[in-house]
Structure 1
Amino acid sequence: MPLQRSNTADKFIVDRRKRHRNSDVARAVRKTRDRLSQQAGNPHFDRELLKLHARAMVSGAIAMPLIVLAIAAVGLLAGMSREIGVWALFTFICYALVAFMARRVERTEASELNPFRVRRDFLIGHFLCGLGWAWFAWLGCGSCQTDQFQMIKAVLLLLAMAVTAVMASSLRGALLATFAVPVAVYAYAGGRLWLPIEVIMVGLLVMSLPFFAYVARQLHRSSLMLLSFRSEKDALIAELETAKSMSDEARRRAEDANLAKSRFLASMSHELRTPLNAILGFSEVMSNEVLGPMNNPTYRDYAHDVHESGQHLLDLINEILDLSRIEAGRYQLNEEPVMLLSIVEDCCHMMELKARNKDIRIVQDFESILPRLFADERAVRQITLNLLSNAIKFTATGGEILVRVGWTAGGGQYISVKDNGPGIPEDEIPIVLSAFGQGSIAIKSAEQGTGLGLPIVQGLLAMHGGEFELQSKLREGTEAIAIFPLSRVMEELPALPTKVVTAARRR
């Protein structure tokens, strides 16, 4: 039953049936699943890849034009005709068009891009750049002073292929669109000469094209993984923000519920206690026959039952109010030096009659001397009485309760109440320590309580900076330990000399 009440409370704190929040959560979860399931062919994923390619082309826009200008400058110095300059201008314009296209794609929102059209435009731009490299592969230099002109062209083409494979790896097919025609043109031009060095370089270029395509494909996979990780990160951030908003809403609802509870208890305490005091007073007068004997003994018994029930209800209201004040931080401690031994001994005497009625023996095992504690005497008494009341309630007739008071290992002081009752299952201890929580043995017991005693003990000890421990074994018993910290223990003051005391009295 306590667990069911807890679940019900959680449902009201965060009502998952509310439409306004469920729509937001469902939208976030749907968006998360879409991102996590992204792969090639997904329009959103393809747009991100195109944006990644555009950023790569913009950041490396200066690399290929510089290579082209360097080739043209060296060619002119080596004695090539003005055709090398025209080639450089054409190729430079092609790469400028690709950079301009990449800049426009980079500045456009991903949702506004048409993946098919943008991919087609990029491939056309790369193909035009490839025509420039094909023109370079066809160029000849009869007036050059070097015999290795074909080999130099092959090395430059390899360099251009390597740079393109790295820069354009995010766009699948870009390398082949750029260098398939130049490699074919170089193979045709070199094959006509049929010299060993030209044949070797043709073979090297033909083999390097699939190699660089493989490298570009691996880099493309790395780009895919990068986007996947980024989308997963964005999804996790979205889930975290959703969970945070739900947590904020739950906290707000819990604070509102706690405030409403505190206001209700504060406003109803007077209204509840006033009629209860009247009921208790009149029922006690009737049961004790203060105004004269009652001829019907049944009515006298009824009056006694009314008084007992009213007293039980008043105790319940007081416990609820105490617990609510503790939870709200409005329980004021009246701290003063107190003797823990004296308080626990008085509480044992107060509970002696109740224990004797069940033939239960209370055994006291106290340290001989303990210094005073700086604590609230009323709170310490309430802690002790609650622990003793629980022990008597669940101890069978003829049982024994051991009450100990002494030092802790850390220099503090403790109160221990141990019974030889039925014990508590280990999995039910958190339930017993929660407000209104009752274990299976308490539910079956004839002396059921409110389930507020132990939470009040925990709250009062927490206000003193102490701790509460509950140790139990089935069919062996339960031990409840209330621990007060070292900071609450007061040092013994030295005795004043007799002359000083006498002088103080004379004054």
Structure 2
Amino acid sequence: MSNGVDTSADKNVLDLTRSSRNRATTRAVRATRERLQSPLGSSPAFDVEMLGMHVAASLQGAAVIPIITLLIAASGAYFTAQPHFLVWGLFALTMHAIGILLVRRASKHDITIDNQHKWRRILLLSQVAMGMSWAIFALQDCTNCNPTAFIFYKGAVLLLALSITAMASMLLRQAVLFGFLPTVVALTYVAGTGHKILDLGLTAVFTTALIFFIYITSRLHQANLKLLSYQTEKDDLIAELEVAKSLSDEARRRAEEANMAKSRFLASMSHELRTPLNAILGFSEVMATEVLGPLNNPLYKEYAGDIHRSGSHLLELINEILDLSRIEAGKYELSEESVSLLELAEDCIGMIQLRAKSKNISIEEQFERDLPSLWADEKALRQVILNLLSNAVKFTPQGGEIVVKAGWTAGGGQYVSIRDNGPGIPENEIPVVLSAFGQGSIAIKSAEQGTGLGLPIVQAILSKHGGEFKLKSKLREGTEVVAILPSSRVLESLPAISEVKAVEPRRRQFA
């Protein structure tokens, strides 16, 4: 049973390969969660990245130390008139060059979690080598200089070197300590052997500065580590959100395909469901009316009538389900022609009058006359008005009143309004009754229950026409429903009006 329906889309299943593509992301997210739950909030991967950042920063600032060293050596040789400062400068440049060579070698190799400790030790040794040059500078003395001025000069140079090294190597843990611990030892030796108060003061000041810079660089290192952690966490959470969104999109796509498959199935079952049911209705009516002769048992006639009534009710439900399924499947096509909204409303009132008369309900018509025709589907609009009138009659109590209005909208379109004085609908239940198979508490308690598809079908038909459906209701005051058709459907174009014309009510009483 194909009925020309393409069922290939119904065989789509979830692409399981998509989850395999996200396994790396899932592992990264899991590692991030474990790291965030750990006391230190760190991981070896961060240490590797910090080492890489230190190497890059060292190569970028490689020319700073040589320039400072040359200036120190030149100024020292000039002011003290002692050439050994130039020798010291050559030694310092050699140590710096060795350190840069080690850094460049590290940049050419891939620093991983397995070899990070090895490269960290190598980089710390390069800092120690440069620190030895500053220790030698601390051992320098000048017999021909003013002791106070020379101590001031030496202290300024060492503090300058300490500050520059601290800022340049803050990404390498303990670099300042390893780099200037030899300088502290040298200053302590000079102060201990010379017994001079200035050397002792310089040692104390430099040691204090070293402790301060170690503390500062440690805090800066932790701050960079946290920034790196937050950046990684953000990237991993974004990846996790992308995975969740991908799975959500896949689930939504499958749900939409399943819903479309259901709609296509029901739409294609129209003939198969209606044909046997029409046969049941026909034969049960023949039996109930005894067309072929009287039935020997009176109960048979009663049972045949029950079969016919039940079958009619079932056919009505099936028609509503199939109509909604065709609309959802996109197979509901409009057969458009010139239609008079007033004539449709009057015909529908005439069709519903027997039910209104049985409940002693009066129907009042308030129509604006001389409304031009609409370009619409007559059968669909008739179904809309009949559904709305049937609901009004169903929920209007004995002796109630229904008011039917038709006329112009403020935008130049046309509308049909049906208002009853029934029990109304609670405000919180209005979205329920407008959804498919939704029924309010009043409808559930009513003896005339339906499928809850009438209003969704009305909304869908009006939407196909480019129109709008409105429902206004207050508990114990009644309900008003309005079906609006746009001005583009009006065959005779008229300017928009701001006020509704006053019309003379015409009452049709069914008593």
TM-score (norm 2): 0.80
- Number of the residue aligned with 1:93: 97
Structure 1, 141-150 or 178-187: larger mean CA deviation: 141-150
Shift of 1:381: 1.8
Residue type matched to 1:99 in 2?
V
- Number of the residue aligned with 1:300: 301
107, 111, 132: which one pairs with 1:108? 111
Residue type matched to 2:477 in 1?
E
Shift of 1:26: 7.4
- Number of the residue aligned with 2:30: 30
- Number of the residue aligned with 2:87: 83
CA separation of 1:376/1:25 partners in 2, compared to 1, >3 Å: closer, same or farther?
farther
Summarize the alignment of residues 384-423 of structure 1 with structure 2, pairs less than 5 Å apart. 384-423=385-424
- Number of the residue aligned with 2:317: 316
- Number of the residue aligned with 1:441: 442
Residue type matched to 1:423 in 2?
G
Percent identity for Structure 1 against Structure 2: 56
1:116-158 CA distances to partner (integer Å, 9 max, x unpaired)? Answer: 5554444343333322322233244668999845434433333
1:259-316 CA distances to partner (integer Å, 9 max, x unpaired)? Answer: 4224422442222121112112222222233333334332222222222222222222
Summarize the alignment of residues 14-29 of structure 1 with structure 2, pairs less than 5 Å apart. none
Residue type matched to 2:282 in 1?
G
Quick check: 1:341–1:366 contact (8 Å CA) kept in 2? yes
- Number of the residue aligned with 1:339: 340
1:391-442 CA distances to partner (integer Å, 9 max, x unpaired)? Answer: 2222333332332333444443333223333333333332222222223332
Distance 1:298 1:23 in 2: 71
- Number of the residue aligned with 1:366: 367
Shift of 1:250: 0.9
Structure 1, 408-417 or 376-385: larger mean CA deviation: 408-417
CA separation of 1:63/1:284 partners in 2, compared to 1, >3 Å: closer, same or farther?
farther
Distance 1:22 1:298 in 2: 69
CA separation of 1:50/1:385 partners in 2, compared to 1, >3 Å: closer, same or farther?
farther
The alignment partner of 1:331 has SS state of: coil
Residue type matched to 1:416 in 2?
S
Quick check: 1:187–1:202 contact (8 Å CA) kept in 2? yes
1:36-94 CA distances to partner (integer Å, 9 max, x unpaired)? Answer: 44644543444444444444434444443443455456666776335224422432134
Distance 1:223 1:319 in 2: 66
Shift of 1:171: 3.4
- Number of the residue aligned with 1:503: none
CA separation of 1:97/1:452 partners in 2, compared to 1, >3 Å: closer, same or farther?
same
Give RMSD over aligned pairs: 3.7
Residue type matched to 2:460 in 1?
G
Distance 1:410 1:28 in 2: 58
> Please, which runs of 5 or more residues in structure 1 have no aligned partner?
1-12, 495-507
- Number of the residue aligned with 2:458: 457
Quick check: 1:359–1:397 contact (8 Å CA) kept in 2? yes
Distance 1:117 1:420 in 2: 88
Shift of 1:388: 1.8
- Number of the residue aligned with 1:4: none
Residue type matched to 1:329 in 2?
G
Distance 1:228 1:143 in 2: 55
- Number of the residue aligned with 2:235: 234
- Number of the residue aligned with 1:3: none
Distance 2:296 2:70 in 1: 125
Matched, 1:328 2:329: yes
Quick check: 1:35–1:232 contact (8 Å CA) kept in 2? no
Residue type matched to 1:95 in 2?
G
- Number of the residue aligned with 2:128: 127
Structure 1, 89-98 or 24-33: larger mean CA deviation: 24-33
Summarize the alignment of residues 170-209 of structure 1 with structure 2, pairs less than 5 Å apart. 170-186=171-187, 188-189=189-190, 202=203, 204-209=205-210
Structure 1, 400-409 or 315-324: larger mean CA deviation: 400-409
- Number of the residue aligned with 1:136: 137
CA separation of 1:431/1:235 partners in 2, compared to 1, >3 Å: closer, same or farther?
farther
CA separation of 1:321/1:94 partners in 2, compared to 1, >3 Å: closer, same or farther?
same
Distance 1:455 1:149 in 2: 96
> Please, which runs of 5 or more residues in structure 2 have no aligned partner?
1-12, 496-511
Quick check: 2:397–2:422 contact (8 Å CA) kept in 1? yes
Summarize the alignment of residues 274-293 of structure 1 with structure 2, pairs less than 5 Å apart. 274-293=275-294
Shift of 1:361: 2.6
Residue type matched to 1:331 in 2?
Y
Distance 1:333 1:41 in 2: 66
Distance 1:155 1:197 in 2: 13
Quick check: 1:426–1:473 contact (8 Å CA) kept in 2? yes
Distance 2:449 2:29 in 1: 46
- Number of the residue aligned with 1:383: 384
Distance 1:317 1:193 in 2: 110
CA separation of 1:58/1:254 partners in 2, compared to 1, >3 Å: closer, same or farther?
farther
Quick check: 1:351–1:388 contact (8 Å CA) kept in 2? yes
CA separation of 1:37/1:45 partners in 2, compared to 1, >3 Å: closer, same or farther?
farther
The alignment partner of 1:179 has SS state of: helix
Quick check: 2:26–2:240 contact (8 Å CA) kept in 1? no
TM-score (norm 1): 0.80
Shift of 1:28: 7.0
- Number of the residue aligned with 1:5: none
CA separation of 1:194/1:411 partners in 2, compared to 1, >3 Å: closer, same or farther?
farther
Quick check: 2:148–2:198 contact (8 Å CA) kept in 1? no
Shift of 1:368: 3.8
Matched, 1:466 2:467: yes
The alignment partner of 1:294 has SS state of: coil
- Number of the residue aligned with 1:502: none
Distance 1:473 1:114 in 2: 76
Distance 1:356 1:273 in 2: 31
CA separation of 1:490/1:239 partners in 2, compared to 1, >3 Å: closer, same or farther?
farther
The alignment partner of 2:403 has SS state of: strand
Quick check: 1:166–1:219 contact (8 Å CA) kept in 2? no
